[in-house]
Amino acid sequence: MTAEPFLSVRNLSVGFGPEGAIRAVRDVSFDLEAGKTLCLVGESGSGKSVTATSIMGLHKPGSAVVTADRLRLEGIDLLSCDEERLTDLRGSLMAMIFQDPMSSLNPALTIGFQLREALLLHEKMSRKAADGRVLEVLQMVRIPEAARRMRAYPHQLSGGMRQRIMIAMALICRPRLLIADEPTTALDVTVQAQILWLLSELQREFGTAIIFITHDLGVVAEIADDVAVMYAGTLVERGSVHDIFERPSHGYTAGLLRATAEFVPGEESLGRLEEIPGNVPSFSMLPKGCNFVDRCRFAVASCHERTPDWRMIAAGHDTRCDQPIDNALPASGAEEASI
């Protein structure tokens, strides 16, 4: 009997509005092993952040209907946890880095106070011991003059430093799972590279599992072990970073690669970047059949008629498409077996 994955998600769905009628996430399934990085990719509005906040249990009570056949982290059933239990787990077992640090940091409190507060909430230690840990973590994330920065307020720091503070806040209690929601989007290329290097170093040191949310495939190529491609609230392709880049099998995955690279493996060089026509459809007005059908260059008449099944491309690589670009095996109804 194989051991249960560190994080196991099966058929996660999230709905908003009356009785969750508008489903922003539908039937999302993936696994993540300890010490590995899964990149969740897709355009803005594809449901990536909703998936992350659902794992963290961050939706306000009554604002969303979250269901799943399985949502387990290190053997803990997250869906059965009440708010008190989830509060204990956030920071200690799992933590999240948000895209905009200025909206996540309290402008009226010093950096040291905000970091120390997390320690005092989750761990029994004196203020002196907590301050020592804060200083250690600030130095770990390469904050210069860390002792002085503890007395600074968020507005007194640069954007890159504020993002490092958010990473320090997420890591202060040494969580086993770190979810990073586009943490480098607003940063310049040099600072972005520093942040990515820092996350990789911290992962190697602590064995942290990371879910990295992004729409930047250049970042994905640099840090991912596995990739899950998301479109209009559902996953459309899953596989290793090598498989996704070398053998993209869903029209959407290939479209993302065309938009960020001069060629797609196995196809003639395009010589220029090529946009995906149209926009992600509204969750309340999804097309019949495949959600991507109206934007897909490979679509045929049957794509308008039915929701595609998962098809295995290779071991650990599958796609939700009836017209896969590569030579896929016949459709598999057992989604769990292909994860």
How confident is the prediction along the chain (339 residues), in pLDDT tens digits per residue? Answer: 567 899 999 999 999 988 888 899 999 999 999 999 999 999 988 999 999 999 999 998 888 999 999 999 999 999 999 999 998 899 889 999 987 777 788 999 999 999 998 888 888 788 999 999 999 999 988 899 999 999 999 999 988 889 889 888 888 888 899 999 988 776 778 878 888 888 888 888 888 999 999 988 888 999 999 999 999 999 999 999 999 999 999 999 999 988 886 444 555 544 567 888 888 888 888 999 999 999 998 899 999 999 999 999 999 999 999 989 864 455 554 444 456
DSSP state of 145: T
The DSSP secondary structure of 33-102, one letter per residue, reads -TT-EEEEE--TTSSHHHHHHHHHT-SPTTT-EEE-SEEEETTEEGGG--HHHHHHHHHHTEEEE-S-HH
Give CATH 3.40.50.300 domain extents, the chain: 7-224
Question: Which residue type, as a one-letter code, is found at position 160?
Answer: G
Residue (of 97, 100, 104) closest to 202 by Cα position: 97
With both helix axes pointing from N to C terminus, report the angle between 83-92 and 111-122 in degrees, rounded to the nearest 10. Answer: 120
pLDDT at residue 184, as a whole number:
79
Could you tell me which residues come within 8 angstroms of residue 190 by beta carbon, excluding any fewer than 6 positions away?
none
Residue (of 285, 253, 282, 284) closest to 266 by Cα position: 253
CA end-to-end distance (rounded Å), the chain: 16
Q: Which fold has domain 7-224?
A: Rossmann fold (3.40.50)
Instruction: Tokens 């769905």: give the residue.
Output: 13
Q: If residue 41 lies in a helix (H) or strand (E), which one and from where to where?
A: strand 37-41
Structure tokens at 312: 């295995």
Beta strands, E only, 113-246: 177-181, 209-214, 226-231, 234-240
According to DSSP, the residues that pair with 98 across neighbouring strands are none
The DSSP secondary structure of 154-165, one letter per residue, reads GGGS-HHHHHHH
pLDDT at residue 319, as a whole number:
95
For 145, phi then psi, to 5°, come to 50, 55
Instruction: Tokens 């029209």: give the residue.
Output: 251
Rama region for 93: left / alpha / beta (φ>0; ψ in -120 to 50; rest): alpha
Are the beta carbons of 186 and 192 closer than 8 angstroms? no
pLDDT at residue 55, as a whole number:
97
Structure tokens at 200: 């990789």
